[in-house]
A and B are shown apart, each in its own frame.
Chain A
Amino acid sequence: MSGVIEIEGLRKTFRSVRKGHRVAVAGFDLLVEAGQVHGFLGPNGSGKTTTLRALLGLVRADAGQMRVFGADAPQSLPQVAHRVGAIVESPQFFGNFTGHRTLRLLAVAGGVPVSRVDEALEQVGLRDRGHDRVKGYSLGMKQRLAVASALLKRPELLILDEPANGLDPAGIREMRDLMRTLAGNGVTVLVSSHILAEIQLICDHVTIISRGQRVTAGPVTEVLAGFDRNECLVRADDLTRAEQLLQAAGLTVTAHADHLVVGGVPDPTLISRTLGEQDVWVRELTPVRPDLESVFLELTGAGQQPTLPRQTDGGSAPGLSGAPSIDLDEFRGVQA
C-alpha cells in the first residue's frame, strides 16, 4: 500500500550531556493516504512533533524509513518540497516584519508568485491585517499567518502541527472550515492537535501515538467503534426499582446519584420495554458513545500520567453521534 506519507519503524533518541538520553520516538509507523484528513494525536512529549520534524528533515532519525509522495525523506525532500506545506509547532516570525512581507520573503525564496501572498492571507482571514507588523498580532493571528505560509505554495499535502493553538472559538471554526475546504479540493491533510473534539469533527482517519509508539490507527469511526460498549444512560421516575428490573433482565447496571449506566445493550428499546412493562417510566434514555477524547485517554493513559495533555478545551468533547460526552471517571467505571 502506498501513501502520501509512509513512516515505518521511526526511532529517535535525543542525547544530552546534561539531561542524558530521552527516547522520543520508538519504532513508530504512520500511513497517510491521498485525500485523507488525518488526525495525529498524542499526549505532550509522546513524539508527535519529533515525528513531524523528522519527516520534514529538521531532526535526524536514528532508524526507520520515511517517504513523502514516494520520495525518501529527508534525502529526497527537495524533489517534493514544492508539494508540501507545513507548519511545525508554533512558528515565530520577526516582529518588525509585516505579515505580508513575511510571506512575500518566503514566496520569493520558494519561487512562488508573489500574487499568492494576498490569496493566502485571504484564506486565513488576515488580509486586512496583512500590512500590520507581526509583533502586533495575537497568538491566534500568528498561527493563522503560519498556516498562510503553509498554504502559499498551494500544497497537495498539508502538515499542520497544532494549528488551533491560540485560536479563539471563531478562529477554530474557521480553521476547521478551511481544512474541510482544502480536503474538498483534494489536499491531503495531516493535522496534529490536542483539541480532540476538533480532530473528531474534521478528520476521517486518526493515528494515536503514546510514548513514541503507535497505539491505534484507522478511520475515526472504526477506532471509536472498537470502544463502543453498547452502554446507555438511563433516568427514570423510580431509579431504585429501575435498577432492580434491569439487573433482573440480565443487564449490567451501574448506579449513580441521578442516573444509571446500563451496559451490554445492543438495542436501547430493550430498556424502555423492560421498564415500561413494570410501570417504571423512562425520563431519559441516551446511548453512550465513546468520543475521541475518551478513546485517547484510554489508549494513552494520559489521564493517569503525571503530565496531562496541555489542554482539552475546557471539558469533554461531544461524540460523533451528538450524544453527551462521558465523564472520564464514569467511563472507567463502566469499563470496570
Chain B
Amino acid sequence: MNLIRAEAERLAARRFVQLMVLLLMLAFVVTAGTTLASSHTPTSAEVAAAEQQAAAERSVIEREHARCLARDRGEAWAQDRNHYLPADCSEIDPVVQGWSPTAANYLTDVFTFTQQAEALLYFLVAFLVLFGFLVGASYIGADLNSGGVVNLLLWRPRRMTVLGTKLGTLLGAVLVLSVLASVAYLVTFWVIAQVAGYPGPTDATFWADLAARWGRGVGLVLFATAIGFALATVGRHTAAAVGAVLAYLVVWEMGGRIMMQILDVSRPDQLLLSNHVGAWLAGELRFWDATPCADAFTGYCNGTYPLTWHLAFVVLLLFTAGLTTTAFAVFRRRDLI
C-alpha cells in the first residue's frame, strides 16, 4: 500500500503528466468555448421546419424501401430498370440500418448533442489514448533512464512487485482520469446543448450506445497505456516506445498492407491492428474482400466481412497481454546498469 501511495504521488508530481493534463483541459475549454460561441438555441419555428424536413426525408426513404421490397415480390410498378435500387433491400431499411433523419439533421448553427456526442467522445478518447501511451511510456522510461527504478529497488528489492505496482498504479490513475474527464466532458456538452443548443431526441438506445462506446473508449485508453509502459520497459526509454509504434505503422500498417495486396492475401484488413482499434471503438467495421468474388463474373457477390468489437477485444487483449508479459519477463532478468 505504501508503494502504491508513493507511486501515485510520483506520477502526479511528474511534470509531463501535469503538462498533458493541462493540454487536456485546454482542449476541453477550447472545444466547449467554440461550441458555445457558434451555437444558439433553436426557435420553435426552426425546430418545426427541421421536423418537417426530417419527416419528408423519412417518407422518401420509407417509400424507396417499400419499392425495393415490392420489386423483390415481383410487383410490376416497382420494376423500373432506370430507377436504382440495391440488390439487398436491407441496405436501405431504416430499421435495419438504425438510422433515419431527425430534426437535428436540419438545424443549422445549432449544437445538437445527439448528433455530436459520438464525435466528441472519439476526440476525447483519441486524446486520452495519446495521454495514456505517452504517460505510460515516460513514467517507466524516465524512471529506468534516470536510475529511479534502481533507487526504488534498493528499498524494495522485489522487481516484479515494483514493476507490477508501477503498472497497476499507472492504469488506476489513467482510468480515474479518463472516467472523470469523459464524464465532465459529456456533461458539459449536454449542458451546452440544453442552454445554447438542441439536445436532440435521446432515448435508452442512444444512451446505451453512447455508454458502450464510452466504455470501449476507456478500455482502449487502458490498452494504450499498458502498451506504452511495456514498450518503454523493454526498450528502457520513452523514445523506444514511440519509435516502436512508428516502426509498426510504417513497416506493417503501410508496408505490410502493400505486400498483402501484392500477394493477394485473403482478408488483409483483419491483420492490421488499426482496424481492430476502429472496430473496437465503433462496435463493428465492415471490409471488402475480393477473394470470394473472384469467380463471380455475373450476378451479385457480397465480399464484405465484419470485424466486430468482440474479435477486436480478443486481439487487443492478447496483443497487450503479450507485450506486458514480455516486459515483465525482460525486466525480471535484466541487468540494471
A96/B2 in contact, CB under 8 A? no
Chain B, Cβ-Cβ closest to A107: B6
How many residues on B have C-beta within 8 angstroms of the other chain's C-beta atoms?
Answer: 28
Chain A, Cβ-Cβ closest to B5: A108
Interface flag for B63 (CB, 8 Å):
no
Nearest 7 Cβ contacts at the A-B interface? A109-B6, A59-B335, A108-B6, A77-B157, A110-B155, A58-B336, A92-B146
Interface flag for A266 (CB, 8 Å):
no
Interface flag for A323 (CB, 8 Å):
no
Chain B, Cβ-Cβ closest to A152: B155
Chain B, Cβ-Cβ closest to A56: B154
B180 to chain A, nearest CB (A): 24
> Contact residues of B with A, CB < 8 Å?
2-3, 5-7, 9-10, 13-15, 142, 146-148, 150-159, 333, 335-337
Known: A93-B148, A109-B3, A109-B152. A60 touches B335 (CB 8 A): yes
Interface flag for A226 (CB, 8 Å):
no
B148/A94 in contact, CB under 8 A? yes
B155/A96 in contact, CB under 8 A? no
Chain A, Cβ-Cβ closest to B4: A109
> Which A residues touch B2, using CB under 8 A?
108-111
The answer, among B142, B150, B157, for a CB contact under 8 Å with A91, is B150
A54 to chain B, nearest CB (A): 9
B157/A56 in contact, CB under 8 A? yes
> Which A residues touch B13, using CB under 8 A?
96-97, 101
Interface flag for A149 (CB, 8 Å):
yes
The answer, among B7, B142, B153, B335, for a CB contact under 8 Å with A14, is B335
The answer, among B10, B14, B151, B333, for a CB contact under 8 Å with A60, is B333
Interface flag for A81 (CB, 8 Å):
yes
A59/B337 in contact, CB under 8 A? yes
> Contact residues of A with B, CB < 8 Å?
14, 50, 53, 56-60, 74, 77-78, 81, 84, 86-88, 91-94, 96-97, 101, 105-106, 108-111, 149-150, 153
The answer, among B9, B14, B153, for a CB contact under 8 Å with A58, is B153
Q: How far is the CA of A88 from the CA of B159 in the complex (A)?
A: 17
Known: A109-B6, A111-B2. A57 touches B153 (CB 8 A): yes
Known: A88-B150, A109-B2, A110-B2. A78 touches B156 (CB 8 A): yes
> Which B residues touch A78, using CB under 8 A?
156-158
Known: A59-B337, A109-B2. A96 touches B158 (CB 8 A): no
B337/A53 in contact, CB under 8 A? yes
A91/B151 in contact, CB under 8 A? yes
Most buried by A among B14, B151, B152, B154: B154
> Which A residues touch B335, using CB under 8 A?
14, 53, 58-60
A72 to chain B, nearest CB (A): 12
A222 to chain B, nearest CB (A): 32
A105/B156 in contact, CB under 8 A? no
> Which A residues touch B336, using CB under 8 A?
53, 58-59
The answer, among B6, B9, B156, for a CB contact under 8 Å with A81, is B156
> Which A residues touch B14, using CB under 8 A?
94, 96
> Which B residues touch A84, using CB under 8 A?
154
Q: How far is the CA of A92 from the CA of B335 in the complex (A)?
A: 18
B332 to chain A, nearest CB (A): 10
Q: How far is the CA of A149 from the CA of B147 in the complex (A)?
A: 13
Extra contacts besides A58-B336, A108-B2 (15): CB < 8 Å: A59-B335, A60-B335, A91-B147, A91-B150, A93-B146, A94-B14, A94-B142, A105-B9, A108-B5, A109-B2, A109-B6, A109-B152, A110-B156, A111-B2, A150-B154
The answer, among A60, A88, A101, A105, for a CB contact under 8 Å with B154, is A88
Q: How far is the CA of A78 from the CA of B153 in the complex (A)?
A: 10
B46 to chain A, nearest CB (A): 53
Chain A, Cβ-Cβ closest to B336: A58
Most buried by B among A58, A81, A153: A58
> Which A residues touch B333, using CB under 8 A?
60
> Which A residues touch B10, using CB under 8 A?
105
Chain A, Cβ-Cβ closest to B143: A94
Q: How far is the CA of A58 from the CA of B158 in the complex (A)?
A: 10
Chain B, Cβ-Cβ closest to A82: B155
B35 to chain A, nearest CB (A): 35
Chain B, Cβ-Cβ closest to A80: B157
A111 to chain B, nearest CB (A): 5
Question: Could you jot down 9 A-B contacts, CB within 8 Å?
Answer: A56-B157, A57-B153, A59-B335, A78-B156, A78-B157, A93-B147, A94-B142, A108-B5, A110-B156
Q: How far is the CA of A87 from the CA of B154 in the complex (A)?
A: 8
Q: How far is the CA of A84 from the CA of B165 in the complex (A)?
A: 22
Q: How far is the CA of A317 from the CA of B322 in the complex (A)?
A: 56
B168 to chain A, nearest CB (A): 14
B155/A81 in contact, CB under 8 A? yes
Known: A81-B156, A110-B156. A105 touches B6 (CB 8 A): yes
> Which B residues touch A108, using CB under 8 A?
2, 5-6, 9
A22 to chain B, nearest CB (A): 12
> Which A residues touch B151, using CB under 8 A?
91, 93, 106, 149
Q: How far is the CA of A108 from the CA of B7 in the complex (A)?
A: 9
Q: How far is the CA of A14 from the CA of B336 in the complex (A)?
A: 12
B156 to chain A, nearest CB (A): 6
Chain A, Cβ-Cβ closest to B15: A96
Most buried by A among B13, B148, B152, B157: B157
Q: How far is the CA of A130 from the CA of B333 in the complex (A)?
A: 36
B132 to chain A, nearest CB (A): 21
Q: How far is the CA of A59 from the CA of B335 in the complex (A)?
A: 4
Q: How far is the CA of A260 from the CA of B142 in the complex (A)?
A: 59
Q: How far is the CA of A271 from the CA of B288 in the complex (A)?
A: 105
Q: How far is the CA of A110 from the CA of B142 in the complex (A)?
A: 21
Q: How far is the CA of A111 from the CA of B3 in the complex (A)?
A: 8
B157/A106 in contact, CB under 8 A? no
